[in-house]
Structure 1
Amino acid sequence: MSINRIAIYHLETLLWIDRLGTFSAAAERLNTTQPAVSARMRELEQRLGSSLFRRDGRGMSLTPAGRKLVRDCEPLLRDMEQALLGSGGFAEASGVVRIGAGEIAAASCLPAFVAAMKADMPHVGLEIEIDLTANLIQQLLTGRTDMAFAAGPVAHPALRTSPIGPVALVWLASPRVASAFGDGGGASVPIWSLASHSPIHGRMREAIAAARVAQKSLNLCNNARMMIDIAKAHGGVGIFPEPMVRAEMARGALVELAGMPALAPIEFHVAMRVVDTEPVLLRLFDEASRLRVAQIDTGQ
């Protein structure tokens, strides 16, 4: 065994393969290539003198020796990271953190959170991706993102979650469309909803059924901001997250429709993988857990 030739990056790579399940996912997380990850693992096996992976056709799994090495080395690397942060503090932390968020979080609590994080950890790079909840959770589980701000219930044994509050939903239209809608012209007014894999879409379907609005009037859009602009241009009625339309309602550009079915709020959560124990990610998750998604930073 050539233990003096084993580097930290060999062990870090092994841990990310175990966490994410594939060499390609580990390569993406470590900002390298799959051939480089494969080469590191070949070197590690050669220097340890034992096989760490079992090849099953196209699949791959850890051998008992590989699982033992992961179990033994994970706390050692975590302690090393904490020791290094202890000497320099989080202000000296580095790396890249990938954050996924829905439009509602992006328009409310996320900007202030990102600004505060950059002030505390100026050397940590950020990659932020805006997407729908179903995609955010999938990206989180596959390791493409490290943390997600997602709508709806987030329940998965591989994820650690914390609630960050509800967001109210409101029926809105421009004053002109609202007046026509109230005068009995609802059958001819377009109804707008987010795409079918959005939690708001489910609320919309239930509300349309309760309001007896013609299903043929329903139109879909995968961008809430576009829906808001369509409603402001007198293009129809929609159900919107209140934080995103607060300014339009204050100006009177959009008004609430009277007599429409009540809408249950959408709960939001911040989530990260249970297996991620890096101090920087745990610190960010702790800070994110204190957020309230319905609050908007107005100090701009």
Structure 2
Amino acid sequence: MTLKQLEAFYWAAKLGSFALAAERLHVTQSSLSKRIAELEQSVGASLFDRSSQRAVLTELGQRVVPIANKMLALSDDVRNLVSVEKGLQGVCKFGISELGALTWLPPFVAMLREAHPALVLRPYVDLARQLERRVARGELDFAVAPGPSQDSDLHTEVMSKVRFAWMAAPARVGANRLLRPQDFEKHPVITMTEDSGLTRAFDAWANAQGLQVQRILACNSLMAITGLTVAGVGISFLPADYTRAWIQQGTLVELGSDPPLPTLDYCFLFRRDDVRDLVRRLRDYVRQVVNY
């Protein structure tokens, strides 16, 4: 019985898929299956029932999962003693929203390259709900996105609070700088799709006010929505600090509303059962540089 065999078994059990477990552990699916078969041979019993198309844990396999988790956690503790001196190594796949990629991602990457040159970073940019799904499935080690997540398998920690404000081209709104309920019938609202954390927050705000909104589901790009707003296609809700340059140039104006848009939490998301020191340490690095 080896740690690699236990690791293969544990992640196949937790993710419910040999393919996802192999991707997480950066091995081929055939290698992962071989390790699990070797573990079963060592134990002397089957841990997965392979009689159907999808492998399912046997009763013994279900009892072995928490034990494997403890053994892997102890192994990780030993590795941590070494990693403190040698630095983090391996591959880290993490998710990030577009706003994060446009703001704090460069200093985050630069900091880690200097502190942990042997660590390979593979960022993945997507909308909040997609990132949550990938973290929950084990495809990503963690993600930083608008939250909190409603997935009970994920742990959420607030990294930053971002103020959003209504934005428009000056020509579209004229001298009016305060949005009234009837303005939302007059001005199209440019948003992302429902997978966006921003859209979820806006929908909750609009429903609370009983607003009838004329919406344009334009695209899933913050930069494109900014461009469409500058062009006068409609109004949008954008991060206040992010749009400061356009406001200073006079191509956008900030609009008030009563009540104002909510402040949005950007959160660090990871699986509750992921006890690796890698995740905790990278969370601390994110906290140092996160700035929207």
TM superposition score normalised by structure 1: 0.82
**Corresponding residue SS for 1:257:** strand
2:124 matched to 1:129?
yes
- How has the CA–CA distance of structure 1 residues 203 and 143 changed in structure 2, closer, same or farther, with 3 Å as cutoff? closer
Task: State the identity %.
Answer: 29
Shift of the 152–88 alpha-carbon distance from structure 1 to 2, 3 Å rule, reads: closer
The 2-side partners of 1:209 and 1:273 are apart by 31
Q: Separation in 2 of the partners of 1:15 and 1:83?
A: 19
Q: Please say if residues 90 and 121 of structure 1, whose CA atoms lie closer than 8 Å, have aligned partners that are also in contact.
A: no
* Selected match of 1:49 from 20, 44, 52: 44
How far 1:282 sits from its partner (Å)? 2.2
1:181–1:189 contact (8 Å) kept in structure 2: no
Rounded Cα–Cα distance in structure 1 between residues aligned with 2:273 and 2:55: 19
Aligned to 2:77, the other structure's residue is in SS state helix
- Deviation (angstroms), 1:95: 1.3
Matched, 1:164 2:159: yes
Quick check: 1:192–1:219 contact (8 Å CA) kept in 2?
Answer: yes
Q: Which residue of 2 aligns with 1:173?
A: 168
Q: Displacement, 1:196?
A: 2.6
Any idea what the Cα deviations from partners look like across 1:164-218, whole Å, max 9, x if unmatched?
A: 2321111112222332877x99666543112133232245455499596762x63
What is the rounded CA distance, in whole Å, between the counterparts of 2:209 and 2:77 in structure 1? 54
Measured after TM superposition, the shift of residue 128 of structure 1 is: 0.8
Name which of 129, 134, 159 aligns with 1:139. Answer: 134
Letter paired with 2:60: A
**Residue type of the alignment partner of 2:240:** E
**SS of the residue 1:243 aligns to:** coil
- 2:216 aligned partner, one-letter code: L
Q: Which amino acid counterpart does residue 46 of structure 2 have in structure 1?
A: S
- Does the CA-based 8 Å contact 1:27-1:34 persist in structure 2? yes
Q: Which residue of 1 aligns with 2:114?
A: 119
Offset, 1:100? 0.8
CA RMSD of aligned residues (A): 3.1
Structure 1 unaligned spans of 5+ = 1-5
In structure 1, what is the equivalent of residue 264 of structure 2? 266
User: Which of residues 222, 226, 248 is equivalent to 2:224?
Assistant: 226
Is the contact made by 2:129 and 2:197 (CA closer than 8 Å) also made in structure 1?
no
The corresponding residue for 2:73 is 78
Q: Deviations over 1:130-189 (max 9, x none)?
A: 11111111111111111011213223332221112321111112222332877x996665
